[in-house]
Every structure is written in structure tokens, then in C-alpha cells.
Structure 1
Amino acid sequence: MTSSTTSVAPPRPPATPGRARRSSAGSRGERRSGLAMAAPAALLLGLFLIVPVLLAFGLSFTNARLISPNPPRFVGLDNFIRAFTSDPVFLRSVLNTFLFAIVVVPVQAGLGLLLAVLVNQKLRGVTFFRIVYFIPVVTSIVVVSILWKFMYQPSGLINSFIDTVTFGALQGADWLNNPRTALPAIIVLSIWQAVGFHMLIWLSGLQTIPGELYEAARMDGADAWAQFKNVTWPGLRSTMIFVLVTITIAALGLFVQIDVMTQGGPQNATTTIVYHAVRKGYREQETGYGAAISLIFFVLVLVIALVQRFVTREKD
């Protein structure tokens, strides 16, 4: 008959006051090190983001000018009342901004998803197409705007292409100098330039969907559309929210293309809220009024982002 013995670990000695003090000192040292490493980023964030926002908020209630011998004077809500009652260019800029966003957001998101589905196929040479679609994203938007400005000229590449394809039956337009075609021309440029970035976001979302779900759907007899509807689209919900929010914010903040290509013309057909704020605040030196327009823009973007988040929220 054999007997087994069970070994019991000896109890740990209680922590001594000296050890506790050393542990507390080590925690404080780690905390100080973390704060020291975060301090440069926090300083830059406060200096170039928080302080300008606070200054813009304060200036929006004054009649401050960029260069003036007179000190700023508090005018209350006069700048905001002026924007909505006696500044038709501001109202036109709001309309242009929303028209731009209404077209760009769905088209760019849908086209990006289509390209992502195409380049997600396991085919030879698909990496080449991913690079080609992404090249406009890494190209400076200023350079892209200058190139497209030349292409949109009456004797530019686009009109030459139209004349060649139609054998002279159709004549191209003066795209950027016609109030009816200037904004659509900038919309086409903007979609082409940024669709590659959102294609990449959609592609990353597609690659997180397990392949087993597609195999199960095929075993159930689902065709390609049924697989997309029941597997792909539900799996892209979080990606869809991110894409919609980022496209909307970028579309509402349209500025560079306008500044390079049309300067708000012709006849204010391409003026946007951001461009109007910059023009009033710097070029016409009405700093207080420009700050008020910027504050209005901030509130509009915040409201639209919150509405989007509410509409696309997870429902129980």
C-alpha cells in the first residue's frame, strides 16, 4: 500500500513597508515618464488647435480686423445676423457646400466600395490595380488641382477627347468659367482624387470578414448578390460608418480645389463655407466676421456628424 504526499507552498511573507514605498515610488516614476513623453504632443495640440479655436470663438463676437489701428469692439451676435440676413454670398456658399456633399458622399462611398470588391479578388496582377487607384491619394491635391485646371480649359485634354470621340459632333465647354458646369467639374475631380483612400478603407473591412461565412452561404445556394447582401454588407457596418463620416467632413471642408481652380467663381458658383470664411478673414481682413463664419461651419459639421451617428447607430 502506497501513500502520496501533497506539498503545500509556503505562504508569501507580508509586504514590508519598505517594499510598498518602493512600489509606490516606481509607479510615480512611470507616471512622470509618461507625462513627460506626452507633454510635447499635448503642447502642440493645445498651441495649434485648442488656442486657435478659443481665439476664433472670442473673435466671432467682435468687429476685429486683421490690420486696423482701432482695437476690437464687442458686437454680440451682429456677425451671425449679418451672415444669414445681409450676406448673399454666404448663403450661396452654404448651398454650394451642401450640393457638393450630397453628390460626393454617396458617389464616392459607393464607387470606393465597388473598387474594393473588385481588387479584393484573388487574381494575378490585382496589386497593380490597387496601386493605380491609390496613386491620386498620395499626390498633392494642389498639384492635382493645377493639372485638372489645365485639362478643363477650352483647348484642354477633356475637350479634345470629347471632340475626338464624337468626331466633332459635340463641342466641349469652358468648364470652369461656366456657372452651370464649374461645380460639377470640381465634383468629378474631387471624387477621382479621393476615391482610392476610401477604397482602401473598404478593402480593409472586406478582409476582416471570415471566409467561412462565404463558404456557408455558397453551400446554402446563395448567389453573388445574396452573399453580398447577407454576408458582406452586414460585416462592413462599422467600416461604413467610418467612411461616411470621413467623406462628409472632407466634403464640407472643401477649400483647396476652389482656391486653386476657380477662387469661388464664376458668379460665386463654387464658393464654399470654408473658402468664404478664409476670404473674409484674411483677404478682406474682416477677422471677426470670418471667425463667425468658421464657428457656424463648426456647428454645422458637428450637427451633421451627430445626425449621421444617430442614423447609423446599432439598433437593439
Structure 2
Amino acid sequence: MRALQLERLEGPEGLKQVDVPEPEAGDQVLIDVRAAGVSFPDLLLTKGLYQLKPPLPFVPGVEVAGVVRSAPPGALVKPGDRVMAFTMLGGWAEVASAPPSMTFLMPLGWSFEAAAGTVLNYHTAHFALHRRGRLKEGETVLVHGAAGGVGTATIQIARGAGARVLAVVSSEEKAEVARTAGADHCFLAAGDWVSRVKDATQGRGVDVVMDPVGGDAFDLSLKCLAPEGRLLVVGFAGGRIPEVKVNRLLLKNVDVVGVAWGSFVMHEPQLTAKIAMDLAALAEKGFVEPVVSQVFPLEQAAQALRELEARKSTGKLVLRVREG
């Protein structure tokens, strides 16, 4: 089968299109891949900077959408089903395998491109807001990197929960993306967004902050938390891993909460089914609708990774693996 293989830990330049054997099914769901997501973990994997460090060469690709070729006994999907799945590795190929617990039916009417950008971002956002962030209806959520894949997913899920959403973005173009996703107010990261958040909340602050950026965004977000607010640490796309003096948490009665969906569901795989049911209901109500900004052919995955690394992209970047 046709696949993209990482041969050197040199970032996007280490990728090469090759022909490799198809994966064996075993106890996995075997999927004929139509589209695959391009995610930040993919970029880190190409540089050897992710916590998972598979031996070279390997096929990247953490999530896919396609048609089930075969499924093990007991799986909730069957051959011929249109599905989206979290693969962790192997998604940038014409055939991929995924655990049954990480393979989900696509909502009716969705394209493969939209579905390919769903599992990682939307499951992460749902897990962050509900399981870790204890979000309640009527609360206010502040989202950093709000025009990106995780950001737009967070906006939509927060709106579906009845929350008010404030967004921080890096440009007016990205502000429009966040507004289209459902943000109530957008603020530019280069401005005094802390004061604007305070104004928008009548000085109270926000109940939940979704932070996949880290660095200064984290530091300033502590100033924006309402009493008993929760700052959700999702990642460090900004490059700097921040630190916090815990007396600040004590004095304000606030929480800093770690969010690692992938490692959590390894220990509680049954959680994925509940999240998938909630997301399907939100999709049916019109809240969940993946934002796909660009679709690249498989052979241009390196360019897609460069767009992601330069933080030029909005929503989700997707690879079209085959037509259909």
C-alpha cells in the first residue's frame, strides 16, 4: 500500500512516500483510509519530541476516517461502516488499524475530511471541559488558540454545554474563525486581553480557561480566573512550559488542572464510548461541526506540517489519502 514513512527525525523533511505491507488486523479494526488528520502530535513525532518514540522508520498519522474493511468480534462497527478513528500511528497510509474502543461511526452527512479531524480534538476538548474542568451550564470559558483545531472544538462543545465563550487569537482573520465556531467575544493575544476579559465578565473573571498554548498565555490566565476557577493545561504550543507559585492558587481559591486525554483513556477505555455518544448528540443538534481549513493530498503532508508548525493554519488540516 501507499504510505508516508518517517525515515529520519528531521521534522517534515524526514518523510518519504513508500510502498509498505498492509497492517494485519489482529484484534484491531482495519480501515480503508479516505482522509487523515494532521495534528500537533504528528509534528512532534517527526522530530522525536513526543513522549511516544517509535523506532524508525514508521508511518505517522494519529487519526483517520474511512471505511471498515474488517472488525474483530464484539466491535461496535462492521465492514462497510463509515468511521473515524484514533490510530496514534499508521494513519498516513491507504490502510490503517485502530482499536475498537477508538473507532466511531461518522455522523450522517459528514465528509471523510471533516471526520478525519474529529477524534483527537473533540475528545480532548470534551474530556478537558467536562471530566477535568467540571464545566457547568451558565459558566464562562476562555479559550486560547481559539481558531485552531482544539480551540474550535472547545468553543463548540462549550456552547453545547450552555456556556459563554471568550476567545483569544493572534489575528483578526483567526478571530472570524473563532466567531464562526461560536465564540461570543474575541480578543487579540497581542493586546491587553486580560483587561478585556475582566470587562466582559464585569470584573469577576472566567470559570474555565482552556490553554493549549502555555507560556505567557498561562501566566496571564491566572489573573483572569474567577473564584474557584479552573485553568486547564492542555499543551505548550507556544514553546515555553510555565511554572506557577502555588500561593497564587491558595489565595485565589483556583485550580490548575492537567489534561491528558490519551493517557487517561488507556486506563479507562470505556470513557471514549460515553464521550462519543455525547459528541454524536451535539452533532445532531448542530453544535459540533469540524472546521477544516485546508485539505492536502497525502504526498504533501510535509507542507501541511510546516503550516501547522508556523501556526498559519486555522481549524484542522487534513490529508486526502484516496478519493471516495
- Shorter-chain TM band: under 0.3
Q: Which has the higher helix share?
A: 1
How high is the TM-score relative to the length of structure 2? 0.21
Higher strand proportion (structure 1 or 2):
2
Bigger-Rg structure (1/2): 1
TM normalised by structure 1 equals 0.21
- RCO higher in structure (CA 8 A, sep ≥6): 1
